[in-house]
C-alpha cells in the first residue's frame, strides 16, 4: 500500500532563515508524483511544488525547493528566506498511475515563523 | 481562469438532515476528487469521478454517502442522515488528466449539531 509519513508535527523558523520539512513515502510503483501543499489558517489547500519521480533534477519554485532522494524514498521541502506568510500547515502527498491518481497525504507539519 | 469553486463554504445541519456539497472544477478539467479533513488530521481521499462516471469510491463510507458528476453542472457530494461524526472540512479538487496536478477548492465546512 502507498503511504506518506511526516515525522515532524511542528517546526519553527526565524524570519529570513531556512527550514527543511521532512517527508518519506513508500510505494512499489515506478511511476508516481510527489507534491507539497500548504494549508494556511484560511484552510485553503495551495500547491507549493511538484516532483515527477522519473526526473532526477530536484524541483524548485522561487524560495521553495525539494530534496528528492528516490532510493531512500525521501522528499523534503526546503523553504529559504522564510517569511511570515509561510506560516501554515504543510502536507506532503503522492499519487501513482495505478492508484487512479488519488492523493495520499501525510499527517502534516505545522510551521511557525518567528519575527 | 476561475479556480475550483465549492459551495456552500459553511453548512450547518442537525442530526438526521441531508447535506449537499457542490463542486465546480476548473475550466477544462474533467477529473474531480473529493477529500475529507477531520479536525487536526490530514486529508483523506473519498471518491474520484469523471463526467457521468464514478472511477474510484474506495474511500467513501458504505452508507449515507454518495457522489455524482453529471454531464452538465457541478459535482455533488451528498450525505444523508448526517451524524456528528460527519462534521469536517470537505475539499474538492480537479485535474486535467488523472495523474496531473490537482487544484483544490476552498472547501466546505460541515458542522452537524
Give the Cβ contact number of residue A33 at 10 Å. Answer: 21
Tell me which residue in A33, A101, A106 faces B42 most closely, judged by beta carbons.
A106
Q: Which of A91-100, B91-100, B104-113 has the highest average model confidence (pLDDT)?
A: B104-113
According to the model, what pLDDT value does residue B87 have? 96
Q: Mean pLDDT, chain B, as a whole number?
A: 93
Please indicate if any CB of chain A lies within 8 Å of the CB of B48.
yes
According to the model, what pLDDT value does residue B4 have? 94
A80/chain B closest Cα distance in angstroms: 24
Min mean pLDDT across A26-35, B7-16, B86-95 is at: A26-35
In Å, what is the CA distance from B79 to each residue of B16, B49, B67, B106?
10, 17, 9, 19
Give the Cβ contact number of residue B78 at 10 Å. Answer: 13
Q: Is the pLDDT of residue B52 over 80?
A: yes
According to the model, what pLDDT value does residue B1 have? 53
CB burial string B19-52: b at 16+ within 10 A, e below: bebbbbbbeebebbbbbbbeeeebbbbbbbbeee
pLDDT bin (cut points 50, 70, 90) of residue B99 is low
Give the DSSP H/E element, type plus range, for residue B111: strand B108-112
Pair B107, B90: CB distance under 8 Å: yes
Nearest to B36 by CA among B101, B104, B97, B92: B92
pLDDT bin (cut points 50, 70, 90) of residue B98 is low
Q: What is the pLDDT of residues A102-114, one digit of tens each?
A: 899 999 999 999 9
Tell me which residue in A44, A102, A104 faces B56 most closely, judged by beta carbons.
A102
Q: Which residue of B has its CA nearest to A46?
A: B104
Q: Mean pLDDT, chain A, as a whole number?
A: 93
Q: What is the pLDDT of residues B24-38, one digit of tens each?
A: 999 989 899 999 999
Q: Which residues 9-28 of chain A have a CB within 8 Å of chain B?
A: none
Q: What is the pLDDT of residues A47-85, one digit of tens each?
A: 999 999 888 899 999 999 999 999 999 999 999 999 999
Amino acid at each position: 500500500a502507498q503511504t506518506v509519513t511526516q515525522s515532524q508535527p511542528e517546526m519553527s523558523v526565524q524570519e529570513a532563515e531556512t527550514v527543511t520539512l521532512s517527508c518519506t513515502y513508500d510505494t512499489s510503483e515506478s511511476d508516481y508524483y510527489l507534491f507539497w501543499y500548504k494549508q494556511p489558517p484560511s484552510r485553503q489547500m495551495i500547491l507549493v511544488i511538484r516532483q515527477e519521480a522519473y526526473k532526477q533534477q530536484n524541483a524548485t519554485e522561487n524560495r521553495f525547493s525539494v530534496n528528492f532522494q528516490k532510493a531512500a524514498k525521501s522528499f523534503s521541502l526546503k523553504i529559504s528566506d522564510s517569511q511570515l506568510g509561510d506560516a501554515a500547515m504543510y502536507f506532503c502527498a503522492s499519487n501513482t498511475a495505478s492508484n487512479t491518481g488519488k492523493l495520499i497525504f501525510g499527517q502534516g507539519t505545522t510551521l511557525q515563523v518567528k519575527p | 481562469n476561475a479556480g475550483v469553486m465549492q459551495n456552500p463554504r459553511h453548512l450547518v445541519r442537525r442530526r438526521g438532515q441531508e447535506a449537499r456539497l457542490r463542486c465546480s472544477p476548473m475550466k477544462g478539467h474533467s477529473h474531480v476528487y473529493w477529500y475529507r479533513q477531520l479536525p487536526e488530521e490530514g486529508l483523506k481521499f473519498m471518491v474520484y469521478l469523471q463526467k457521468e462516471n464514478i472511477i474510484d469510491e474506495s474511500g467513501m463510507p458504505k452508507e449515507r454517502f454518495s457522489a455524482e458528476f453529471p454531464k452538465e453542472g457541478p459535482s455533488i457530494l451528498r450525505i444523508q442522515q448526517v451524524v456528528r461524526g460527519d462534521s469536517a472540512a470537505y475539499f474538492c479538487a480537479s485535474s486535467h488528466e488523472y495523474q496531473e496536478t490537482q487544484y483544490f477548492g476552498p472547501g466546505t465546512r460541515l458542522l452537524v449539531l
